[in-house]
């Protein structure tokens, strides 16, 4: 986390993130974005693969909270069968809700990580909290001018990550 907005780790999908990986990195709770991280915006509820991934995490002792800038209705619908700690209208990259989520899970922030698809919201919040940011590419990105501009701003930081992590 020495570099501003450079993710600690990038994955191709959330399914590459395992309980063993998290525990090896001292992470016992994931503070997860929903839209374009776990599911596309259009999916009202998580699919079976996401439900299974979350169940596997929880069975292994990894806590999960949902943190979204989306509406209360969206988050409640998505979380209906998951029964996770869930926070809507988070105003990311504000860190207030992340602190509330950590407290709700009973896991100190220093043992949490942020999982998301956006550097300017998810990774920035993690950087401000001095906790790891795990970033996945957006599942199905919006094509509005606003989102295209945000993604363009992220490009140099993603390049920096790739330079630092060439194998």
Q: In the numeric block, which tokens belong to residue 128?
A: 């401000």
- Residue 8 binned pLDDT confidence (cut-offs 50, 70, 90): confident
Q: Taking residues 61-79, report their average pLDDT.
A: 98
**Secondary structure of residue 119 in the 3-state scheme:** helix
State the Cα angle at 105 between 141 and 68, rounded to 5°: 20
**φ and ψ at residue 39, rounded to 5 degrees:** -150, 155
Q: Taking residues 108-113, report their average pLDDT.
A: 98
How far is 70 from 106, CA to CA, in rounded Å? 24
Predicted local distance difference test score (pLDDT) of residue 156 = 64
Burial class (CB in 10 A: 0-12, 13-18, 19+), 40: middle
Q: In the numeric block, which tokens belong to residue 77?
A: 């619908």
Query: Please, what are the domains in the chain?
Result: 9-164 (3.40.50.1000)
For residue 120, is pLDDT > 90?
no
Q: Please, what's the b/e burial string for 117-137 (b: 16 or more CB within 10 A of its CB; e: otherwise)? A: bbbebbbbbbbebebbbbbbe
For residue 1, is pLDDT > 50?
no
Among 6-20, 36-50, 83-97, 121-135, whose mean pLDDT is lowest? 6-20
| Distance in angstroms between the alpha carbons of the first and the last residue of the chain | 20
Please give the model's pTM, rounded to 2 decimal places: 0.85
Predicted local distance difference test score (pLDDT) of residue 5 = 59
Q: What DSSP assignment string belongs to 77-97?
A: HHHTTT--EEE-S--TT-SHH
Q: Taking residues 94-108, report their average pLDDT.
A: 98
For residue 167, is pLDDT > 60?
no
């Amino acid at each position: 986390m020495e570099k501003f907005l450079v993710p600690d780790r990038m994955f191709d999908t959330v399914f590459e993130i395992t309980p063993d990986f998290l525990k090896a990195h001292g992470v016992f709770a994931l503070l997860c974005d929903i839209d374009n991280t776990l599911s596309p915006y259009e999916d009202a509820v998580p699919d079976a693969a996401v439900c299974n991934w979350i169940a596997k995490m929880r069975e292994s002792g990894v806590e999960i909270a949902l943190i979204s800038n989306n509406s209360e209705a969206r988050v409640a619908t998505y979380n209906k069968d998951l029964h996770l700690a869930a926070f809507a209208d988070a105003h990311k990259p504000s860190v207030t809700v992340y602190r509330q989520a950590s407290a709700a899970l009973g896991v100190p922030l220093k043992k949490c990580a942020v999982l998301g698809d956006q550097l300017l919201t998810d990774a920035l919040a993690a950087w401000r909290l001095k906790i790891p940011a795990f970033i996945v590419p957006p599942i199905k990105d919006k094509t509005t001018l606003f989102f295209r501009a945000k993604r363009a701003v992220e490009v140099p930081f993603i390049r920096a990550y790739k330079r630092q992590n060439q194998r």
